[in-house]
Structure 1
Amino acid sequence: MNNRNRGKNTGDDTLFGTGKQIDKLKSAVQDMQYLLSRDYAEKASSELVGNRYRLKTRQIQSVRGASASNAQIQNRKSKQLEVSELENTTIYLDGFNVLILLESLLSEAYIFQGLDGCFRDLSEVHGTYKRVNQTFSAIELIAKFYQNSKVQKIVWIFDKPVSNSGRIKQTILDFATENNFNWEVDLEFNPDKFLVENAEIVVSSDAWILDHCKNWFNLIQYVMDEEKLAVNLIKMF
């Protein structure tokens, strides 16, 4: 294994590590909620808010991820399932979304809880996925959830065009075979559309998926609570 992780970027402690900055971000999210609820476009809203509070690029990114309109929040909350409702079901994971978020969380990067209750990070995959020191630990956390929740089957969906998606698919399949888990891993050209059209229950923090899916489960919240993980968490509300 290499020495890579998905921890903080240089300067993140300055952007997110003080009460003054966090208060500013919370105010920005409130303003974004107001604008989005009145049908302002997300890009225009984030530009207005970013200018008003003089936010840096990564701060704007965190605010956009945490924000939603009143209608979006209500819609997402109405489709959220409890762990007690998952027994004997099939769960579809938005593979890179879930895996990278867990890797970031375990790497002590800043994690942001949005108005919809979901958690998001600031990591991005620019066409290539690279394993990090925390990858296997992240997969093990999914395994604990799988066993404790008595889910019948987990289907991981990864972006086929992303380089190394085939490698992480094989890594997960090998792990599932070794442990006799009922896991499936598929590569899709348009995973977001696939998940919305084919999954009864989705695990993702992607806003578009949450808006259009049938049902979803907040796996990151579950893992944090069950494992009592120490997290650099910022609640953006």
Structure 2
Amino acid sequence: MNNRNRGKNTGDDNLFGSEKQLGKLKLAVQDMQYLLTRGYAEKAGSELVGNRYRLKTRQIQALRGASASDMQIHERNLKQLKSSELKDRIIYLDGFNVLILLESLLSEAYIFEGADGCFRDLSGIHGTYKRVNQTLKAVELVASFFQKNKVQKLVWVFDQPVSNSGRVKQMVLAFASENNLNWESELQLNPDKFLAESSEIIISSDAWILDHCKQWFNLIGYLIQEESLSVNLIKTL
């Protein structure tokens, strides 16, 4: 295991750590929701709002992740399942999305609760996934959720084009084998499309997937509550 984590970027405390900056972000999310609800494209809306509040690049990234239109929020809520509805079901999990978000959370990076109740971070994989100190703990948290809710089967779906995706797939399968978990893992060239078109329950915080999938579960929200996780959380509403 390499001695690295997925914590805050230098400067994140200045961007998100004060009441002034937090107040600005909350107002920006309200404005963004207003624009999206009235049909503005995300890029155009975030440019307008970013200019108005003089947001830096990472603040705009947080703004875009946290914002959604009234219709998106309503429809995502309609498709969201409770943990009591997961027993004996098959779940498809957006592998890198969930893994990186949990690694960030466990590394005390800032986590943003969006208008849709989903949690997102500011990390990206930029074509290569690198395992970090918190990777195993992240997988253990998913295992805890899987066992407590008596899920029938969990399928981890990873982006095939991402470097090291094959290794992560093998790591997940090895962990499942050691702990007697009914897990599968697969590599997909276009995992977003694959997950969106699946008839099974989806776990992801990717906005496009949430808008297009049949049903989904808010795993990060569940884990924060059930496992009493310490989170550097920013509520944007």
Q: What TM-score does the superposition give when structure 2 sets the normalisation length?
A: 0.99
What pairs up with 1:145-184 in 2 under 5 angstroms?
A: 145-184=145-184
Q: Which runs of 5+ in 2 are unaligned?
A: none
Alpha-carbon distance in structure 2 between the residues aligned to 1:180 and 1:132: 24
Alpha-carbon distance in structure 1 between the residues aligned to 2:42 and 2:73: 15
Alpha-carbon distance in structure 2 between the residues aligned to 1:52 and 1:43: 14
Aligned to 2:39: 39
Alpha-carbon distance in structure 2 between the residues aligned to 1:95 and 1:203: 9
CA contact (8 A) 1:157 1:186 kept: yes
- Count of equivalent residues: 237
Q: What TM-score does the superposition give when structure 1 sets the normalisation length?
A: 0.99
What letter matches 2:175 in structure 1? F
Alpha-carbon distance in structure 1 between the residues aligned to 2:227 and 2:145: 10
Matched, 1:113 2:113: yes
Matched, 1:51 2:23: no
What letter matches 1:26 in structure 2? K
CA contact (8 A) 1:91 1:199 kept: no
SS class of match (2:230): coil
Alpha-carbon distance in structure 1 between the residues aligned to 2:103 and 2:127: 18
SS class of match (1:187): strand
What letter matches 2:72 in structure 1? Q
Deviation digits for residues 34-75 of structure 1, max 9, x if unmatched?
Answer: 000000010000000000000000000000000000000000
Shift of 1:196: 1.2
What letter matches 2:194 in structure 1? F
SS class of match (1:81): coil
Aligned to 1:73: 73
CA contact (8 A) 1:86 1:149 kept: yes
Aligned to 1:144: 144
Q: Which runs of 5+ in 1 are unaligned?
A: none
Alpha-carbon distance in structure 2 between the residues aligned to 1:186 and 1:63: 32
Matched, 1:207 2:207: yes
Alpha-carbon distance in structure 1 between the residues aligned to 2:219 and 2:229: 13
Alpha-carbon distance in structure 2 between the residues aligned to 1:222 and 1:34: 28
Alpha-carbon distance in structure 2 between the residues aligned to 1:199 and 1:101: 24
Runs of 4+ deviating beyond 6 Å: none
Alpha-carbon distance in structure 1 between the residues aligned to 2:179 and 2:139: 12
CA contact (8 A) 1:92 1:199 kept: no
What letter matches 1:192 in structure 2? D
TM-align CA RMSD: 0.5
